Amino acid sequence: MSQCDYTRRGFLKAMGAGAATLASAGNLTAVEQKAAGKPNIVMILVDDLGYGDLSSYGATDLKTPHIDRLMAGGVRFDNFYANCPVCSPTRASLLSGRYPDMAGVPGVVRTHITNNWGYLAPHAVLLPKLLGPAGYHTAIVGKWHLGLTSPNTPNERGFDHFRGFLGDMMDDYYDHRRHGNNYMRLNGKEIDPEGHATDLFTQWSIDYINDRAKSDRPFFLYLAYNAPHTPIQPPDDWLERVKKRQPGINEKRARLVAFIEHLDDGIGRVIAALKDAGVSDNTLVIFTSDNGGQLNVGANNGSLNGSKGQMYEGGIRVPMCAVWPGKIKPGTHSDRVALTMDLYPTICEAAGAKIAHEIDGRSILSRLLSKSQPVEDRFLFWVRREGGGYGGRAYYAARYGDYKLVQNNPFEPMELYNLKDDPQEQEPLNRKHKMYRTLSMALRNHIIEAGAVPWQKYPVQFDRS
């Protein structure tokens, strides 16, 4: 048997029984008919979008028709949570299927080691490492935020293609610098493109879609926008449009509204590109945010208590939807509680990618497809480690059923809430409540387990003179 025959047999094995049936009929050609009908997958993650900052989630002063159309075109989750109230940890969970501290990223990965609170664990198996063997070409466009240098760069951690920003926030959406550093990359090459970052990421995604539509391999595109993270910097014409439409609107709010509407337009262009390229009917699109909105820059988290950076619901509950024509019923809702890390096994299951290692996330694909899926009996945890006024300490939340244990910063006591009776977290329960002890013990055990995973590569050295 030739080497080509061995390669083809291995490919068919990875594709599963459906591919084998086609192969026996002699029908597979051109990279085995788009990996035997597997869907393309587009994962859209936006940055700091508040739970109330979409018109489909109740906002009355902004217009987000393209995201709203996504929400209506598939299943919308009303109890979906980011794995952390800030950026890097949630991204680590999305790509690893682990709790952030189990992936070595309990806090924000930053430029300077004295203010860096995460190091992506070498043992963490990222999504592209599983999707590649399942037949997928994999790409990230936009914000990475899980490492600035080797070996924690997107290509080294499994992505076939990277065009975007290695760092955290941009100090300016037009010059794309952070602390004076240029973190824009095309794979391993430093680039210095012109234009608003949102427009760049949108166009680069469209370019990728158009290119991959010519191929017979399915693709996975992780589109991670920086917007609407600070600085709130909408293009001038978008800001003027909002002010003209709403005379007297608060300047701070006007800027954020324009910023989100500009982002919505970009997402609409990406979705249109899928249709124009002829691949939309076999593409699973997932949309969500990495944490809640930042209230002091004009964000709206609806009726939820709290803001970005906090463990209250406003810091961690986020909009989410999934669209897959012919598979996911349009206009459906789910009140199932799920976290960002659950998208890892969900995407793998949809792609036919096998998971042979331990993860914390659990697939919600059955729920996306409107199939019965029992409510899972599990404890859920959130962690954030931070410097500055937090002193490098970590703080946590834990949930079981309707009960949530919250420490909103490292210097506050734990509070227990029943979210069913008190969704705005206004009336903490007595510390003697049996769920206080139950959740405290579960959280303690999680902290012990996560303690085995380093979150810094090198010890920090200080001048003690």
Where in the sequence numbering do the catalytic residues fall? 87, 145
Q: Is 23 left (phi over 0), alpha (psi -120 to 50) or beta?
A: alpha
Alpha-carbon distance of 158 to 156, in angstroms, equals: 6
Q: Residue 68, exposed/middle/buried by CB under 10 A (0-12, 13-18, 19+)?
A: middle
Residues 6+ apart with CB under 8 A from 286: 41, 42, 43, 44, 320, 321, 322, 343, 346, 347
Q: Do 384 and 107 contact (CB within 8 A), yes or no?
A: yes
Phi, psi of 380 (to 5 degrees): -120, 145
CA neighbor of 253 nearest in space, from 390, 24, 92, 52: 52
CA neighbor of 197 nearest in space, from 177, 224, 226, 223: 226
CA neighbor of 183 nearest in space, from 143, 212, 219: 143
Helix residue ranges, H only, 246-382: 251-276, 313-316, 343-351, 365-368
Phi, psi of 44 (to 5 degrees): -105, 120
For 37, other C-beta atoms within 10 Å of its C-beta total 14
Task: Give the type of residue at 256.
Answer: L
Alpha-carbon distance of 19 to 14, in angstroms, equals: 9
Specify the DSSP element, H or E, that contains 45.
Answer: strand 40-46
Q: Do 53 and 59 contact (CB within 8 A), yes or no?
A: yes
Residues 6+ apart with CB under 8 A from 397: 311, 316, 381, 382, 404, 405, 406, 407
- E runs forming strands in 258-414: 283-289, 320-323, 332-334, 338-339, 380-385, 394-400, 403-406
Q: Do 264 and 20 contact (CB within 8 A), yes or no?
A: no
